[in-house]
Structure 1
Amino acid sequence: MSLPTVDTTVTYPAGAVESSGTVLHVSDADGARVVLLDTTAVHPVDAGWPDQGADRAVLTTADGTSHEIRDAVVAATDGTDLFLGADVPVKKGTEGWAFTVAHLLPAGAAVREGDSVRIDVDAAYRSALSAGHTACHLASLALNRQLAGAWKKDVLTDAAGNPNFDALAIETSTITEHGSTDVYRLGKSLRRKGFVPDTLLADLPAAEAGINAILADWTATGAEVRIECDGVGLTDMRRWSVDLPGGTVSIPCGGTHAASLKETGGIQVTLTAEEGDGAVTVTMDTICVQPAG
């Protein structure tokens, strides 16, 4: 069976929730029918940083038969073998490899190479995840700003120029519908980098209130959110950009986003701390207060 030689063209960065494409490859793996297209509107989960899950979507063939897309993952091929998700052995953009969106359909789904198909994404679910992803970025920037005075050494800074606590302490990040959950580890390595944990832990409610005040100031602007793309391929660089009161911020990101901060309806966070494994973990739960739609 033929395998693609170029990256999948993806239309979800521009907000598309439907697309037309041609089936390039069909195979079976782990009880699913794996379908690769030349173009897709489906956002896949990336095993390298699986913060945002896959879209919910349906694939319809030219004869009107529809198949549920049960999952979608980033895949890669060297022209001989196809690797899915966590099994991809190389970094995205590696020369000689094509990176693609693998649509996982029910086993035996009647889809053939060369078929013309239509993709329809669940727009409401996409919108909810997009709002959650935008809220996650804003909350991480507000957290970094709130903790800017908690460092004794110079460290990596974020897109707004503040010490990047989020990047240096993050353990997991999960985008949810209209929100996100981020878990940070305050251990020895972070202290060695110059972070003073008591600045945060001594008065967690005060830090939470400070972050929420920053978020209220930012979201009140209703600023437009832009996804700036270097190209239309799956591995082309994409950046999330927004104009905040202190200036423009731009963050590399492959996910989907709200079109403006107004769509979040306001953003609030809740901070909780827990002892364990020789370190304290702090969880930041982020929600969109009154999201559009």
Structure 2
Amino acid sequence: MSSEIPFCEAARTLVRRPEVAVPAKSCDTHAHVFGRHEHFPFTPNRTYTPPEASLEQYLELHQMLGIERGVLVQPSVYGTDNSLHLQALRQLREWGYDYRGVCVVAPEVSSTELKELHEAGFRGVRMNLLFRGGLQWNDVLGLADRIADLGWHLQFLINVSDCDDIMDRVAELPVPVVFDHMGHMPATLGTDQSGFRKLLRLLAGNRAWVKLSGSYRVTLQDEYPYPDVEEIARALVAANANRCVWGSDWPHPHFSGLMPDDTDLLEDLAVWVPDEEARKRILVSNPVRLYGFDD
């Protein structure tokens, strides 16, 4: 491995039970697992090298938090090789858990592979548009057409504050679009930033979804708490609470700051969404609609 590729710190292992009520069938819609490096090799042109983060560790976290469902999102270090999360979802099903996945595929992915992924529980394709120069908009359109009949969505890793052209074209897509990490915009730009306002309009018009996740990635604070994120999160919920879901982003890869506490991240939801019924929709019923969980 190249010494120029930074190694990631492992997630915290000591997690306390949350003090806020976590309703039954709550869902963590954004997390990753990382296998043993010799069994699941990383792509050479990655931007980070994560430590192992096992499926068993992920389940232990959920048991402590009171989370019963989850969504595994393909991380960039594996490129379009979804075999680790494919194996994980099959294992979870054997163990009696109800989890889903979001994959990364090439525009020319075969229908056979899409069918295999769907049968395992994948329900979306993640598209990394945070760094330009890779995917073109025609690739986005092509994949959207391919997955529409499956009932899947596209998940965008994008900074909404510097992608006005993409934000203007989201409504033309034939599938739902989910925005990672509250739009991945620095919180200091505020809720009046033009790209963020476009995100709010997409939410209000039922044209998009957003993950209330990654607060530690968009804050300007060096450590918890992240008060500058509260206005951003509240604005998203106010735009359309029925289009918001929550995610831990465990085990927090490619992050060089102070490792967040997953219980803090879950309890922040009570600060952003004081209404208990709205929180229940965000944790339970909204993921049912987006990922096809059983009621």
Higher helix share: 2
Relative contact order (alpha carbons < 8 A, sep ≥ 6): 1 or 2 greater? 2
TM norm. shorter chain > 0.5: no
The TM-score range, normalised by the shorter chain, is under 0.3
Higher-Rg member (1/2): 1
TM-score relative to the length of structure 1? 0.21
Higher strand share: 1
